[in-house]
Structure 1
Amino acid sequence: MHPNIVQDHPGSCPICGMDLVEKRITPAPQGSAQETALEHAAKHLDPTYVCPMHPNIVQDHPGTCPICGMDLVEKRMTSKASAQTAAAHPEVALSGAIVQSLGVRTAAVERGALRREIRTVGRVVYDETRLAHVHPRAAGWVERLSLRAEGEPVEKGDMLADVYAPEVLSAQVDFLIALERGGNGSARVAPDKARNILRLLGVPEAVIRDIEKTRQTRNTIPVEAPAAGIVTQLMAREGMYVTPSTEMFTIADLDEVWVLVDVFEHQLAWVAPGMPAEMQVPAYPDRTWTGKVDYLYPDLDPKTRTLRVRLVFPNPQRALKPNMFADVVIAGDPKQEVLKIPRDALIVTGTRESVVKALGDGRFQPVDVVTGMASDGVIEVRSGLAEGDQVVVSGQFLIDSESSLQASFRRMR
């Protein structure tokens, strides 16, 4: 009596109470070989309308549900692939007023260069090639110190201490004897040999010339700074007995410093010696230092899975102090011809990465994507989008939530 009442199991009509009868479908004539069975069925089927709340209510013309009174909606046939995509991420249609109130903004998918940057933190340390360790060449006693505390600056050739060494005094006597005996002879081998012995014992050239001129020995010999810098260690004290194994002073040249940083394993292909680097330190937030990558250490840290990289920065004003923390940016070669979108457009849920694609006319649909490297607020897209597509950069989370909610309702039905 009511042919619009259709269901997939025996029962009675909800309107008149009569028993439902089985409806048999006669085979349709064969279509062309090129079209699929689904396309052939969709071509010959009349549109059907179903109730959103009672899917067993089906009829071939618009109307209302006899049970709940809701308007029937048209049921469309789609391919399996498109049905799966629509079921996972259904489209969301929004009116212009809702788009305006949500503040939805879109941006185009572009193709271009993407700058490779490594942002990391580092620590300022001494340049180990600019460290000078001062040891006496002969055992003796420190008679006088010219330094009083660590941290004092020195220049190359400054006197650091006076040391009395019996071995040096004996070498001076041999030098004077050689001068007296070799003065009227034809060979000068003995005086030259004695002079070289004094040089090997650390006697400065000026002191050797003074001894040769005055023909007088000197009880103490000055210890001079071999390089300019800052005295970082002061181990000698007045009256202290020192030997060649005693490190009296350590001088560090701070005109150039090292910065040690850690680079993650997946970023190793982006960094190479000679690349430029920039650095800022909390002590001087308005200043930027420019340096370069100097060396990549050979082994990774097994716990952090990072590689230590050494950078070199000039420090002529000595503003950079060892053990300072620094924010470092290593600029690599840009990656060319990549698809990129604003980072704000990306939705990361932990199980998938997606964006909301604007289809036009107020229609939006979430799309899963595969991303690559990120830099300067832009991220690379490897698959899922094409150049020129419009993606939502503001309000996309609400649209994605609405799409997920619709997908859940469809699965429940």
Structure 2
Amino acid sequence: MTTHASTVLAPPVATPQSAPQERTGPSLLRASGLAVSLFLGARLAGVAVLALVAPAVGRHPLALLGRSWDSVWYLGIAAHGYGHDLPSHAPGEHSDLAFFPLYPALVRLVTALTPLGGGAAGLLVSWTAAAVAAAGIHAVGARLHGRATGVALVVLWGLLPHSVVLSMAYTEPLLTAFAAWSLYAVLAGSWLWAGALAALAGLSRPNGFAVAAAVLAAAGVEVWRGRGRVSHRLWTGAALAPLGWSAYVLWVGLRKRNLLDGYFEVQRQWGSRFDLGRGSWKFVRGLLLTGHRMVFPMALVIVAAGVLLYVLLLLDRAPLPLVVHSGVLLLIALGGSGYFESKPRFLLPAFPLLLPLAGALVRTARARPWHATVIVAALAGLSYLYGAYLLVFARTPL
């Protein structure tokens, strides 16, 4: 069953017969260690740049990383549970039920087991999740295209313009960790792991159901190809995948006495709704006509780049679960209204979009190593400076 799933769901270059050395053995572990080390080095360098800039506003860099914007809400839930809403800069009611429970539960666990306070515990959870995510991203890239591409994929992910979020007490690292390893499990045909990890992803963030969608799409293909004669592990994994997201949405519905729409009403109070892109288009049109500070044009460029990269991913005939996962995240970013400046952050878990760029970087490094070095250095400079700008000067919600 495992071999069949891997062959069906991965492109020809990733079949078990063509590159087994890329997925097993000490060489893979060493490459994974290299990828995680490069990622952690990149993010620590970003923190160092932030430490140089933060005194401009009289803030400690760790305070900026651990207690900014949504992290304050997550830490409040970790300390007090749900139902303790905080003041907001925007008018109207803002319920903490909009924030999914797994991350604050982990923060609360860390504060209970260690002497760390909420902010430090939040950073520990996020940084650990980011390292696990980097290992999973490398595993996916190495399985499909070899160890070098896996390493390049991790480096690019760690140097995205908004990758400062991966160093913050935010939930994107946690979601990406579950997403990466769930997608890897699907490619390997480990359906129970895929479903369980997808369920945990669904408890991490509202857009975490993209992972369940990927698992269900891949399982559906297997059922169709096998005419229903598939392993019980596949059925169990497919059943597990949407449980985390569905359970929380229904729980909020029960608390709001509106089972099916209660959670979505909470999101509407925050100004977030899925309107097929009408709100996004209205915002972009105003941005193009009137101009705005750098955050919004940068967000527009990143989202447009995401669309282009998705087209390239399709042209590369990427495995179905990666296409579905990235497509759903992109659809949410494009079709959702409200907080346009946060859309690049919503795309951070869509790491498969970087696969075409990772392949191009590897080819450049082999043909012209100096060119590849310049490219990586330029990406690092943009990531560090823009990340510091976002936290220190922009004063715009992430």
TM-score normalized by the length of structure 2: 0.16
Q: Which has the larger radius of gyration?
A: 1
Structure with more of its chain in helix, by fraction: 2
Structure with more of its chain in strand, by fraction: 1
TM-score normalized by the length of structure 1: 0.16
